[in-house]
Amino acid sequence: MPFESLSPRYPAMRKPDVVVIGAGFGGLAAALRLAELGANVVLCETLRYPGGCASTFTRRGYQFEAGATLFSGLGDGQLFSKWNEKWDLGVRFDPLDPLVELRTRQWSLAVPSDRDSFVQRFSALPGADPKAVLGFFGTQRRVADALWTLFEDPSLLPPFSGSSVVRHLGRSLSYVPVVRWMGRPLSDVASQHGLAGWEPLRVYLDAVSQITVQVSSDEAEAPFAMAALDYFFRGTGHVHGGIGSLAWAMTKAIEQAGGKILLANRVRGIRREAGRWRVDTRKGELEAQTVVANVLPQSLSSMTEPQMNGELHDVEASVESGWGAAMLYMVVDSDAVRGPEAHHLQLVDDETAPFVEGNHVFCSISAADEHERAPDGQRTVTVSTHVPMKKLRQMKPDNQGAYVAATQSRMRQTIGRRAPELLEHAAFEMTASPRTFARFTGRHLGYVGGVPRRVGWNHYRPRALWPREAMRDLYLVGDSVLLGQSTLAVALGGVRTAEQIASRNTFSAEAPGS
Ligand SMILES: Cc1cc2nc3c(=O)[nH]c(=O)nc-3n(C[C@H](O)[C@H](O)[C@H](O)COP(=O)(O)OP(=O)(O)OC[C@H]3O[C@@H](n4cnc5c(N)ncnc54)[C@H](O)[C@@H]3O)c2cc1C
C-alpha cells in the first residue's frame, strides 16, 4: 500500500479509513474493534496518556485513579477479559470481596461478589422482611438478566438484522418484566414489594443509583436502574496498577492490530470536503472516510461547523442536566486500611439529605502490592462526589470556587464521620473540581458521568437506541450516548459503533482477526 503525505508533520502516514478523537474507553474500544475488523485507524488523544476519566495519573511520585475506580467486564468471557487474552495484554484483574463497603450512620453493608450471599446479607439488615427482600431482588435480577444480555451482545441492539429479530422473538418472554417497568421510577419497584418504607433498601438504592444511573431511586428509570444494580455482580473488580494499565495495554493492542495512536495531539476541528472528513490536529491534518468522536456533543459541536449541530441538541440538553465531580486525591499510611487488597468505601453522612455534594462519597484505596502507585507502607485514595452543574453554573464565577471548596470540606466531614481512619492516617491531599476535568480531559465545562437516566420514555426512542451518527460518517461514542456511563458501557458502545461502521464500509487493510 503506498503511503501518501497529508501534511509535513505526517510524512509517512496513509490516509486512514477512520480517525477516532479521544482515547477514553469509548474511543479505545471503537479503535480496537475497528482495527480488528480491518480498518486503518488513527486515534488522536489530547493528553500524553490514554483513559480520560478512567485514567491513572502521576503526581509527586504517586499514581492516582483520575475518576473511575471500580470496573466490570473483567470476568471470563466478558469484553475486557476477552481482549486481555486475545491481545495478550498481560493486565492483572483482581477479584474483590467485598466489592464495596457501604457505611451509613446506623448500619454498614459489605457487598460480596456473590449475589445470593448479598441477598442473604441484605436480609439481615435492621427491620428486614426477608421474603420481600428476596422478591425485590428477584424482580431486579430478571430485568438485569434481560438487559445485560442485550448490552453485552451489540448485534441484539438496533439496527436489527434478520437473525437478531429471530433471536429477540425467541427471548420475548424475558422482556416482559422489562416492559412492565418502563417509564416508572425504581422506587416503584420497592413499593410493589411492600418495601417503600424500609430505610436500608431506600438508602442502598439511592447510593448505587447515584453512582451508576446518576440519579436517586425516586428519579431513576427503573429498567436501567435495575440493570445497573447488577454492576457489582458482573465480573467486577480491580485493575492492578490502576485502570491506566488497561488503557495503555489497549493502545498497544490497537497498534498490534495495525492502528496508530497519536498522543498529545488535540483535534482542533473537522470539516467535510468532497465526501470525506478533514481532521485538523495539533500535529497536522488527517483525511478519513469516517470520524468517531469520543467527546461530549458540545465538544463535537465546537469542532464542526454550526449547521452540523442540530442533531445533537437533545444529547447536549441531557448532558447539561447532569453532574460534575469534586475530588480528593489522598495518600494514607497503610495502617488506615484493614487488608492488603484494593478497597472501596461508599460513605453516607446524612441518609435524609441528597446523596451528592459531599454528603455521599466514593473512596477507592489502592492495593498494598501496587508499588508503582505508592511506596511500601502507603496507599493512594481517590474520593469523589457529585456536583450539580446547574447549581454551579448559576453561580457567579467568584462564588464557584468557594462552593467547590465547601463541597470538598463536606467530603472530609463525611470521611471523618464514617471512615475516620483515613483522615487520621492521611499523609498528602490534593483536590480537583469540574474545572480540573474540563482542563485535563476536555470534558465541556467539567460535565462527567454521562446522561442521568431520569424516568421517561425518551430513553427508548429509536434515535436514542441507534448508534449515534451526528452527520454522514461522523459518529458520537462515549458516555453521553447508548450504552451510557461506566468504562464497560462506553467500551461496549464503542464496539457496537465500530461494527456498524464496518458493516457500511470496505476497509483497505487486512483484518488481523475479528
Ligand atoms: C469521578 C468519577 C468516578 C467514576 N467511577 C467509575 C467507576 O468506578 N467505574 C466505571 O466503570 N466508571 C466510572 N466512572 C465513569 C467512567 O469514568 C466514564 O463513563 C468513562 O470513563 C467515560 O469514557 P468516555 O470514553 O466516554 O469519555 P472520556 O473518558 O472523557 O474520554 C474522552 C477522551 O477524549 C480526549 N479528548 C477530549 N477532547 C479532545 C480533542 N479535542 N482531541 C483529542 N482528544 C480529546 C480526552 O482527553 C479523553 O481522554 C466515573 C466517572 C467519574 C468522573
pLDDT digits (tens, 9 = 90+) for 388-433: 999 999 999 989 999 999 999 999 999 999 999 999 999 999 999 9
Establish whether residue 45 lines the binding site of ligand 1, counting it when its CB lies within 6 angstroms of any ligand atom: yes
pTM for the model stands at 0.95
**Phi/psi of residue 489, nearest 5 degrees:** -60, -45
State how far the Cα of 193 lies from the Cα of 207, in Å rounded to an integer: 19
Q: What is the pLDDT of residues 349-362, one digit of tens each?
A: 999 999 999 999 99
Establish whether residue 356 lines the binding site of ligand 1, counting it when its CB lies within 6 angstroms of any ligand atom: no
State how far the Cα of 193 lies from the Cα of 123, in Å rounded to an integer: 14
Region for 64 from its dihedrals, namely left if φ exceeds 0, alpha if ψ lies in -120 to 50, beta otherwise: beta
Q: What is the pLDDT of residues 482-505, one digit of tens each?
A: 888 899 999 999 999 999 999 998
What the block records as the C-alpha cell of 69 is 475506580
Is a pLDDT exceeding 60 seen at residue 12? Answer: no
State how far the Cα of 363 lies from the Cα of 327, in Å rounded to an integer: 10
Expressed in angstroms and rounded, the spacing between residue 149 Cα and the centre of ligand 1 is 24
State how far the Cα of 355 lies from the Cα of 1, in Å rounded to an integer: 56
53 Cα nearest atom in ligand 1 = 29
Expressed in angstroms and rounded, the spacing between residue 295 Cα and the centre of ligand 1 is 9
State how far the Cα of 281 lies from the Cα of 271, in Å rounded to an integer: 12
Residue nearest to atom 46 of ligand 1 (CA): 441
Q: What is the pLDDT of residues 30-80, one digit of tens each?
A: 999 999 999 999 999 999 999 999 999 999 999 999 999 999 999 999 999
Of 384, 379, 331, which Cα lies nearest the Cα of 355?
384
CA dihedral 7, 8, 11, 17 (to 10 degrees): -10
Q: What is the pLDDT of residues 288-303, one digit of tens each?
A: 999 999 999 999 999 9
Is a pLDDT exceeding 60 seen at residue 514? Answer: no
Establish whether residue 492 lines the binding site of ligand 1, counting it when its CB lies within 6 angstroms of any ligand atom: no
State how far the Cα of 85 lies from the Cα of 184, in Å rounded to an integer: 40
Is a pLDDT exceeding 80 seen at residue 120? Answer: yes
What the block records as the C-alpha cell of 114 is 456473590
Q: What is the pLDDT of residues 90-117, one digit of tens each?
A: 999 999 999 999 999 999 999 999 999 9
Q: CA quadruple 416, 421, 426, 429: dihedral positive or negative?
A: negative
72 Cα nearest atom in ligand 1 = 11
CA dihedral 103, 109, 112, 113 (to 10 degrees): -60
Establish whether residue 52 lines the binding site of ligand 1, counting it when its CB lies within 6 angstroms of any ligand atom: yes
Q: Which of 487, 488, 492, 495 to mutate to test the pocket of ligand 1 (most atoms within 8 A of CB)?
A: 487
Residue nearest to atom 48 of ligand 1 (CA): 52
28 Cα nearest atom in ligand 1 = 25
Cell 434478520 belongs to 162
Share above pLDDT 90 across residues of the chain, in percent, rounded to a whole number: 82
169, with CB counted inside 10 A (0-12, 13-18, 19+), is exposed
∠ CA 273-279-284 to the nearest 5 degrees?
120
Are the CB atoms for 348 and 207 separated by under 8 Å? yes
Establish whether residue 23 lines the binding site of ligand 1, counting it when its CB lies within 6 angstroms of any ligand atom: yes
Are the CB atoms for 422 and 412 separated by under 8 Å? no
Q: What is the pLDDT of residues 142-197, one digit of tens each?
A: 999 999 998 888 888 888 888 888 888 988 899 999 999 999 999 999 999 999 99
State how far the Cα of 499 lies from the Cα of 507, in Å rounded to an integer: 12
**Cis upstream peptide for 159 (omega within 30°):** yes
Residue 457, helix vs strand vs coil: helix
State how far the Cα of 334 lies from the Cα of 344, in Å rounded to an integer: 15
Are the CB atoms for 56 and 326 separated by under 8 Å? no
Establish whether residue 297 lines the binding site of ligand 1, counting it when its CB lies within 6 angstroms of any ligand atom: no
State how far the Cα of 262 lies from the Cα of 193, in Å rounded to an integer: 53
C-alpha dist (Å) from residue 123 to 96, 128, 230 = 22, 6, 17
- Considering only residues 295 and 312, tell me which one the structure prediction assigns the higher pLDDT: 295
State how far the Cα of 39 lies from the Cα of 290, in Å rounded to an integer: 10
Are the CB atoms for 205 and 187 separated by under 8 Å? yes
Mean pLDDT over each residue of the chain, to the nearest integer = 93
Residue 383: its H or E element: strand 378-388
440 Cα nearest atom in ligand 1 = 47
Expressed in angstroms and rounded, the spacing between residue 138 Cα and the centre of ligand 1 is 33
